[in-house]
């Protein structure tokens, strides 16, 4: 598989990454054996970038990946880990902690759960309003000097925070939601990244399945499924959003590819500095996503897609209001 350097200073990564969050309950129950088989299939297909968070399943996701990597060559895998989100025993969310002592504590547990000696890319999951980004980045920089981390990434922060962080230490990438129906980064955030030589690892390229072409109204009601409270999946919004998918389906069928492949290919076509993270948790979905690499979008295709799914056409915000107000990228 083709690879890109992640930003000016980052590692070489495959042009698609595998986002592993869905394997640990965020979208309802997942099958452990199938999850591990999917990770293996991704690695065998040439995907080397695996994305996780220490709070996914309260450590479950890291342990799952650690198990999947047994017997695999460590230096052929790029592990991207988010830290800082606080959970309670019931699975609730309790804010973020990016104090230096907390970062070192989070990292110690991550290394143990993944059973590795270092993390390739370490990033705060969100901006901690109580800790200056300079302090957070400086602490991670010290951990790079100590050999525990290779590169620093950011997640869901705005242009000013990106610039402040990059002034302290080179940043290889910003992880942020980007899809046909989530294009907020195009205003200020993406230009700031490009000016600083920072890549984008784009999650939510299928909007949590909404624009995959497989989603049907009424799904996502399993306990713990984030989509059960996501505005775009709720009554009042879902019909309008699925209507956009049907317009996209017409373009996909004309090219004899799937809706998901068109949606992934659109994100990939935005530039070599953007790496889509595929949230597949089954091998069949992974195979479909890999097929997006064979999709070539012409100027005519791009215009048709823009007409079918105009910017800001989606109904509902990408997160509930209570979560958005704490996101630096939304300010």
Cα separation, 273 vs 147, whole angstroms: 26
> Which candidate, 180, 172, 131, places its Cα nearest to that of 155?
172
56 counts as catalytic: yes
**What's CA 293's distance to the chain center, in Å?**
18
Cβ neighbours for 155, distance < 8 A, ≥ 6 positions apart: 82, 123, 124, 125, 126, 174, 175, 176
Q: Read off the DSSP letter of residue 233.
A: G
Q: Supply 238's token pair.
A: 């879902």
- Quote the CA–CA distance of 119 and 65 in Å, as a whole number: 13
Catalytic: which of 56, 122, 203, 319? 56
The Cα 61–Cα 85 span in angstroms is 14
User: Are 43 and 77 spatial neighbours (Cβ–Cβ below 8 Å)?
Assistant: yes
β-pair partners for 119 = 149
Do the beta carbons of residue 85 and residue 96 sit within 8 Å? yes
**Tokens matching residue 152:** 């620093």
The rounded distance, in Å, linking the Cα atoms of 284 and 292 is: 13
* C-beta neighbour count of 73 within 10 angstroms: 8
Q: How many residues does the chain have?
A: 331
Q: Going by DSSP bridges, is the β-strand pair 85-87/93-96 parallel, antiparallel, or unpaired?
A: antiparallel
Whose CA is closest to 197, among 1, 3, 2, 5?
A: 5
Contact 214, 242 (CB under 8 A): no
Active-site residues, by number, are 56
């Amino acid at each position: 598989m083709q690879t890109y350097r992640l930003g000016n200073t980052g590692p070489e990564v495959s042009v698609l990454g595998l986002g592993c969050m869905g394997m640990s309950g965020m979208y309802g129950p997942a099958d452990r054996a199938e999850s591990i088989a999917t990770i293996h299939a991704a690695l065998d297909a040439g995907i080397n970038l695996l994305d996780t968070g220490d709070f996914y399943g309260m450590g479950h996701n890291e342990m799952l990946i650690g198990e999947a990597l047994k017997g695999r060559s460590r230096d052929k895998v790029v592990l991207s880990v988010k830290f800082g989100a606080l959970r309670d025993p019931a699975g609730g969310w309790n804010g973020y902690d990016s104090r230096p002592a907390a970062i070192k504590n989070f990292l110690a547990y991550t290394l143990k759960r993944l059973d590795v000696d270092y993390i390739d890319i370490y990033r705060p999951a969100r901006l901690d309003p109580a800790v200056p980004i300079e302090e957070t980045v400086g602490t991670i920089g010290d951990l790079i000097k100590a050999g525990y981390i290779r590169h620093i990434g950011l997640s869901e922060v705005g242009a000013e925070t990106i610039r402040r962080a990059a002034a302290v230490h080179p940043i290889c990438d910003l992880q942020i939601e980007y899809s046909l129906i989530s294009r907020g980064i195009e205003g200020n955030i993406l230009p700031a990244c490009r000016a600083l030589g920072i890549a984008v690892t784009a999650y939510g390229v299928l909007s949590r399945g909404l624009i995959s072409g497989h989603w049907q109204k009424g799904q996502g009601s399993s306990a713990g499924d984030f989509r059960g409270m996501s505005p775009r999946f709720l009554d009042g919004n879902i019909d309008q959003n699925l209507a956009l998918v049907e317009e996209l389906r017409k373009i996909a069928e004309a090219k004899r590819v799937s809706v998901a492949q068109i949606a992934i290919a659109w994100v990939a076509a935005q530039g070599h500095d953007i790496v889509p993270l595929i949230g597949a948790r089954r091998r069949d979905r992974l195979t479909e996503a890999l097929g997006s690499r064979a999709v070539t979008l012409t100027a005519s295709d791009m215009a048709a897609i823009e007409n079918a799914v105009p910017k800001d056409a989606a109904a509902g915000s990408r997160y509930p209001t209570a979560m958005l107000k704490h996101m630096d990228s939304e300010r």
